[in-house]
Amino acid sequence: MTLLSVNINKVATLRNSRGGNVPDLIEVAEDLQNFGAQGITIHPRPDERHIRYEDARNLPKVIKTEFNIEGNPTTKFLNLVCEVKPTQVTLVPDAEDAITSSAGWNIKKHAKFLKGVIDKLKIEGIRTSIFVDPDISIIEAAFETGTDRIELYTENYAKVYDFDRENGITPYILAAEKATELGIGVNAGHDLNLKNLAYFAQNIPDLLEVSIGHALISESLYLGFKNVIPKYLECLVN
């Protein structure tokens, strides 16, 4: 079964919109795990407009599954994750003012930099993943960095799901097959939801983990976390 890691950035956005501590991010993370989530993901931005660095420091107190921290490996970010030591760090090439992730790494261009970052994280005992587009040459380049996993950026699949899902998923299947051939674990995320997740999970070989935030939080406004988490887990049973 593919593991479900829930990105709680949007919960922090709601909290920050009014100040104070409602909703309580720590309580939400604990509840999500009790409802069945198998991991918690956060993506702190440099301006801390949703997840704050202090959140990253406090969350390990309640995380009993896996803790995944995503972000651009700036010096400040690397200092944070080396302090917190989450289960996994996912390296994402975001600009500082990015609203959300919009592309994977050009690993061929940044291979030396990424290898240095990954070497440092491995010394700290942290599993590494690189956010990538479904491109065979990029997957091959990822192997040279020594990363443990890749996270397939799934926005393009989500965009065509309603009218061309078979062709839309093909690059992801090929990328996952290449990663598995090279001994790299496969994660996925971005714009996956209750509508398109099952088809993706059923067709991607050896999919280890999906990280889902915006859609899951939005769907929970109608159905509640307690009801939505089992629905996602059902999508991930192959």
Name the residue among 215, 68, 33 with its Cα closest to residue 149: 68
The residue from 151, 190, 209, 219 that is catalytic is 190
| DSSP type of residue 110 | H
Q: What is the pLDDT of residue 97?
A: 54
- 214 is an active site residue: no
How far apart, in Å, do the first and last CA atoms of the chain sit? 6
Contacts (Cβ under 8 Å, ≥6 apart) of 117: 73, 78, 91
Write out the residue range of the structural domain in which residue 53 sits: 3-235
The residue from 66, 70, 209, 219 that is catalytic is 70
Q: Helix %, strand %, coil % for the chain, to 5?
A: 50, 15, 30
Name the residue among 71, 77, 76 with its Cα closest to residue 91: 71
The total number of structural domains that make up the chain: 1
Q: Is 30 helix (H, G, I), strand (E, B) or coil?
A: helix
Report the predicted TM-score, pTM, of the whole model to 2 decimal places: 0.94
Q: What is the pLDDT of residue 1?
A: 84
The residue from 43, 50, 66, 219 that is catalytic is 43
Contacts (Cβ under 8 Å, ≥6 apart) of 18: none
Q: What is the pLDDT of residue 46?
A: 87
> Where do the H-state alpha helices sit in 35-187?
53-58, 75-84, 107-123, 136-145, 155-182
Q: What is the pLDDT of residue 238?
A: 65
Contact (Cβ atoms closer than 8 angstroms) between residue 187 and residue 210 = yes
Per-residue pLDDT of the chain (238 residues; tens, 9 = 90+): 899 999 999 999 999 999 999 999 999 999 999 999 999 999 999 889 999 999 999 999 999 999 999 999 999 999 999 999 999 999 999 765 544 555 788 999 999 999 999 999 999 999 999 999 999 999 999 999 999 999 999 999 999 999 999 999 999 999 999 999 999 999 999 999 999 999 999 999 899 999 999 999 999 999 999 999 999 999 998 6
Q: What is the pLDDT of residue 101?
A: 55
Q: What is the pLDDT of residue 95?
A: 60
Q: What is the pLDDT of residue 96?
A: 59
- 70 is an active site residue: yes
Q: What is the pLDDT of residue 102?
A: 58
- 43 is an active site residue: yes
Q: What is the pLDDT of residue 111?
A: 94
Query: Can you tell me the distance from the alpha carbon of 212 to that of 196, in angstroms, rounded to the nearest whole number?
Result: 12
CATH of the domain at 49: 3.20.20.70
Report phi then psi at 3, rounded to 5. -80, 145
Residue with tokens 């896996």: 66
